[in-house]
Structure 1
Amino acid sequence: MKKFQTLLYYCYSAIAEAEQFAAQHLKFCKSLNLVGRIIVADEGLNGTISGTPEACKAYMDAIHADERFAKTEFKIDNVDELSFLKMHVRYKSEIVHSGLRDPRIINPEVKTGKHLEPTEFMVMKDRDDVVVLDVRSNYEHHLGRFKNAVTLDIENFRDFPSKINELAQYKDKKILTYCTGGIKCEKASALLLHEGFTDVYQLHGGIIKYGKEAGGKDFEGKCYVFDNRVAVDVNAVNPTVVSTCKHCGQTSPKMVNCANPECNEQFTLCEDCGWEMMGCCSNECIDHPRRRVYDGSGYYIKLSQEYVKVPRIGEPVE
């Protein structure tokens, strides 16, 4: 039996005085000896946390006891080690950055694509009248994606709105959106509906839930996750590796951050090139004076505050 659990969750639900809630929530999480990363915004919560099964249960019970978050669904992984080193809670303008902050246009509590359970998604995804759309960033879908999925050239989810015109050719199709845990699809599907797409769906619980409940069939490669694990296996039915090393082109499931902290690019790297390039994406980064020591993992601790207020637009930066 594994010693720890990692919880992935989100909930779109209005939080009054969200900045104050964030500070209080950090204290609560630390009282349970949890580690992880939680984003708090006026529109809700988005988190990945890790701790003992007892601590995780206490956290889930507390979240569900709050009527604002009673509908929250947790994806639970049993893990050998904690998936984070520290506990961070950040107050931001959105729980997933999209730039779509006008609730008259995008409000996941009011209107999103139709939710498909994993088994429903599995049945629909190969139909001729369906397009499966990955709404994640380049580094995520390069590591793993559904077979025959449409992917977008975006560095961050905030770039998604600018790609809507590229999807116009699919307006007569059923659009099945998916992402890691479901949070990005809430806004992506809502925007598609706003832009005139009429038959829009989303994979409920995302790739992670699909792996747990449908065996991950036809998800090629690994799923990128935002914690120390970096990548997790999803497909227990017909697994394969699709990501390729940035330097030599050899298939590799390993995702790293560039050892140059001023670059920090996320890319796929094979074992041999990892040591040869010292964990870097380029020769320029190898020569950088602040290059971090590569230990084979490609994961580096970020030095940051536990609770960070991100200024609102127009507010001075302290």
Structure 2
Amino acid sequence: MSGIRTTALRSLPVILALAGAALAGAVTAAPPARAQSPVAIGAPLTGEVVLNRDIEVRIGPSEDARIVMTMKQGKALNALGTPRGTYWTEVAIGGQPIGYVPADSLDPALMVTGRPAIGGEGPRPPKSAGSQPADALPPHRSAAVVPRAAWDKAAQTPAEGYVVAAAPIAATEILANRKRRGFTLRKGDVVALIGAANGEATLALPAGTRALAPVQGLVGVVAPYPLPGMPPVEPGMLYGIKLGDYVSYAEGLRAWREFTAGPGSAYRDLPPMVWPVFQKARLLYGVGVAPFTRLQVDTACGTLAQRGLDCTVIELDTF
């Protein structure tokens, strides 16, 4: 396994470094240093947000401003904007401004406030390969989201992540008497993964038996939709944020728990988003959050940058 490198989440909590800044000839509070991110570097939040910790609301954008109230973690607010040269965001309740809070105390209410899908059916499958331009991405990507019902059926079997068949796949079921029976995984079938080696995956079927199938055509499942307690996602292309790759499911699960205990506290009540990634002869595990629309993923990456975390945007298959 030499050569495999893991991308670990940074130590939590993140310590924000402050740098001096001048605005219109006056010295103002300095913004936090931000890590490089591929999308929306340091973009200030606007719109519906939630507090990621208990916080004091101040009458002005300054640590010295009078405290007008305190609020608990998880409180839903409206972010109105962040004055230039500060790291304080003006917030409101029901459209009525109430004061300012530190910008890094806010997370976007991404999956709570999204408009329901048309007909409540979730995302639409991507267009067929024949209708895509020649320079489009391959039709099957490295991660997917699946309907809640398919996820719930597969999740009855403990496993190290779950996969979905992106196309019909010839597989072999290993029966209790060690006999083998050939069958076909249908496109959209979600199954539990036990492990993979030499291009072949070992799967746990809901019936309690195991099966062998080529990894070609199997895609790691990031999350179901709709997520528990959340409205359906909008139709169209969906995206995820990958925070890192790990050499085992256990390491990925540990990273997920560290993330949701710190900068990703907004996602702590969701199922762990740790999914298998097949890379030639290697099996890795991605850790991240999903699903997002294009606009949502930009905002989320900007928020993570404020926490000192990098993120990689990935496109998701939908079924």
Larger relative CO (CA 8 A, sep 6+): 1 or 2? Answer: 2
> Between Structure 1 and Structure 2, whose CA radius of gyration is higher?
2
Q: TM-score, normalised by structure 1?
A: 0.22
Q: TM-score, normalised by structure 2?
A: 0.22
Q: Which has the higher helix share?
A: 1
